Structure 1
Amino acid sequence: MIADRLLTTILTRVDSGARLIVIGGAATMVAVVSAQVVMRYVFNGSFDWADEVSRIAFVWTTFLAIPLGIREGAHVGITLLVNKLPAGLRGAISRLMNLLAAGMLLVVFWTSIAVAAATWSERLGAVNMTSSVFFIPVILSAAHGALHLINLALHPLPHRPAEAMA
């Protein structure tokens, strides 16, 4: 089906972009924090902007990695009861939960847009940047994660019992 292929193509491309940003964010955190440690302990000084830049990189890295975990089914799930149900019912519950979670992420998406818009004029102290820079990855992650959850509702991952995941 065309819509199915379109969703898969969009998710593949967005996943690739998110993966690159996550790698860049992690590299930024390591570089900035390492440079800050060297500046403090070797040169007895520091960069004013290091804390904010590393915090921004941390938030972007964390939130943009969440949908990549959703895609793989890597997030924590409590399946004690669900594992005891018949396969058909397990699949139906999985689809329903994925759709409910996608709906919740869409609420987070819209709410984050409103908060980012409301705080857009606020500036960070050490870097001349809007404080909404912390909400942008939440917006992107919520939309990206919702798309993955919708895709999982349409095409669930194969069931893996808890013993197989340990």
Structure 2
Amino acid sequence: MKSRLLALSRVFHALSTAAMWVAGVGLVAMTVLVAYQVYMRYVVNASPPWTEGASIMIMSWFIFLGAAVGVREKFHMGFDVLLYAIPKARPFLRSISDIAIFAFAFGMIWYGGELAIRGAGVRIPVLGLPQTFTYLPIVVSGVLICLFILERMALRLAGEPVDNDTIESSVNEA
């Protein structure tokens, strides 16, 4: 059982790495698009109308993918304040935090999915894409966050040291 969890954890690590790469490429692409738009507007005096919409679309993707990776790497969405006050309750507090994050991510899937479905028949004028693409990053990020939190909770139940991080190390040293 534990070996299967660890193998699954390696798969999630690869998924997290891929999401981070896609987010990084998106950040670079958005930067290039904005630079192109500025050049076209102020030098050529003919700004293409699609660059702003495309930049915003790309930005929503890299923000939400980065948030999902941040959850897996414990850089995002956590409630660490009580760890300083009650260090012995660390596993319980981490579990409560994970449940809250899972619930929030499930809400992202549910309500983001509703928005994506409603936007399927509407086109974004300057891009020609269905409005679903505006809300899809919310759903994809929610799915990734749920998977990463379930992974963490399963590893914790299997006895793996998933709660060891820099905050807890500083709590133990104090």
TM over 0.5: yes
Question: Which deviations, in whole Å up to 9, do the C-alpha atoms of 1:60-82 show, x marking residues without a partner?
Answer: 01001101111221126553433
- Aligned pair count? 164
- Indicate the residue corresponding to 1:98 in structure 2: 98
- Indicate the residue corresponding to 2:123 in structure 1: 123
Does the 8 Å CA contact 2:40/2:47 hold for their aligned counterparts?
Answer: yes
Cα separation, 1, equivalents of 2:115 and 2:24: 27
- Indicate the residue corresponding to 1:139 in structure 2: 139
Cα separation, 2, equivalents of 1:41 and 1:111: 40
Is 1:23 aligned to residue 28 of structure 2?
Answer: no
In 2 relative to 1, CA 19–102 (structure 1 residues): closer, same or farther, beyond 3 Å? same
Cα separation, 2, equivalents of 1:42 and 1:103: 49
In 2 relative to 1, CA 40–62 (structure 1 residues): closer, same or farther, beyond 3 Å? same
- The code of the aligned residue for 2:130 comes to T
Cα separation, 2, equivalents of 1:139 and 1:80: 29
54-63 or 148-157: bigger deviation: 148-157
Does the 8 Å CA contact 2:112/2:138 hold for their aligned counterparts?
Answer: yes
Structure with greater helix share of residues: 2
Is 1:151 aligned to residue 151 of structure 2?
Answer: yes
Question: Which deviations, in whole Å up to 9, do the C-alpha atoms of 1:17-61 show, x marking residues without a partner?
Answer: 212210221111111000111111111111110010000010001
Q: TM-score, normalised by structure 2?
A: 0.83
Q: TM-score, normalised by structure 1?
A: 0.87
Q: Structure 1 residue 162: deviation in Å?
A: 8.1
Runs of 5+ unmatched residues, structure 2: 157-161
Equivalent position SS for 2:14: helix
Cα separation, 2, equivalents of 1:63 and 1:29: 15
- Indicate the residue corresponding to 2:74 in structure 1: 73
- Indicate the residue corresponding to 1:59 in structure 2: 60
- Indicate the residue corresponding to 1:85 in structure 2: 86
Q: Structure 1 residue 121: deviation in Å?
A: 0.7
Name the structure, 1 or 2, with higher relative contact order (CA <8 Å, separation 6+): 1
